[in-house]
Amino acid sequence: DSEPLGQYLAENHGVAIVPGAFFSPFGGDWIRFSYATPVERTEGAFGRLMEGLEGLKK
């Protein structure tokens, strides 16, 4: 479910995502995010996103 993932990423890694379920009843396994920011900021966010996802594997 992407809603708890979004909360975890925001609270622990400073990354905001939008759960796919907000856009479709079939979107529970999907996320959306904006990358309409400067490249440096986007790269930093992707790094934190990856750290957050890697942390879930442990």
User: Hey, what CATH topology would domain 2-57 get?
Assistant: Aspartate Aminotransferase, domain 1 (3.90.1150)
Domain ranges of the chain: 2-57
pLDDT band for position 9 (cuts 50, 70, 90):
very high
User: What average pLDDT does this structure show over 5-27?
Assistant: 93
Residues 20/29, Cβ–Cβ less than 8 Å: yes
pLDDT single digits (tens) 26-55: 988 899 988 899 999 999 999 999 999 999
CA distance 5 to 21: 12
Number of Cβ atoms within 10 Å of the Cβ of 29: 11
